[in-house]
Amino acid sequence: MGSTAVQKGLLAISILLIIIGLGFTFAGVFSPAWQVVDIREFRAEHQHGLWWDCTRAEKHVVAVADFYAEEPLHCMYKFDRSAEMVIETTLNNIDEDGAAGESEHHRFWAWHKAILFFILFSQFLAFISLCTGICIPCFRPTAFVFTISLFLALLCSLIADGVFFLAANRVDNRFVQGMVGSYEQRIGYAFYVHLIGTLCWLVAFLFTLLTTYKFFAERYTSRSGAHFRSDVDPPLLEKYNAAPARPSPPVTYIREHTYRVTSA
């Protein structure tokens, strides 16, 4: 029996939410604005991402009517070997260079790598769930793979968000040391963009549970109807058109007369 309109509707909503979640998670991981800090003494805005960092010079006045003008971002990769050597040189001259303390936040720490692993692995699992979800109307057992892979993707994405939130609120990561003062970093919009993608997967997972239930409940109902007979069916013996048996003719008993012979 083909899938019903309700089953197809639930499946379509699940797949759509998975695609939206993938879009938000990709947008979050490619943005450098996971942690943002305005260092006033350097007249610059620093954006610290998971795998690359960007700086923007402070906005300046261009006219009375146009108060500020945007400056372009200047970015660097955390895993760039040349950038890592520059950071090491800067940290070695921390007594002479006041910007050395801020350079610590441009390093590729272990918690950055852990978050990236969980994010990329969750996106891979979500893609697997998307592919198996498309195959459900043709091969229903893939519904289990569809649900399990999306659950694992949701779990990995939640772990990534949780690890970042805890690491970003540590004192050594939350505050940036300048020449004359300390500046507090705030969580940027990239984290919230990724969190929206995680919430989309959460809602999609609820719909996948309903989808799997609908597909297999309908299958069980169809199987039950094929194996069990209703009470209105005729008895088994009545289904055979056997000819009625002809009754045997009655036996006729002949009464015998007994004669008694007597002597004269």
Please provide the DSSP assignment of 88-104 as one string.
Answer: HHHHHTTTT-TTHHHHG
Kindly tell me if the per-residue pLDDT of 60 is higher than 90: no
Mean pLDDT of 41-57: 87
Lowest mean pLDDT among 35-44, 68-77, 102-111, 131-140: 68-77
The CA distance from 50 to 33, in Å, is: 9
User: Tens digit of pLDDT for each residue in 191-235?
Assistant: 999 999 999 999 999 999 998 888 877 665 655 554 544 444 555
Say if 237 falls within a structural domain: no
Number of structural domains in the chain: 1
Mean pLDDT of 157-172: 95
Task: Output the domain CATH number for residue 9.
Answer: 1.20.140.150
- The DSSP code sequence of 193-210 is HHHHHHHHHHHHHHHHHH
Say if 45 falls within a structural domain: yes
> Domain limits at 155?
5-222
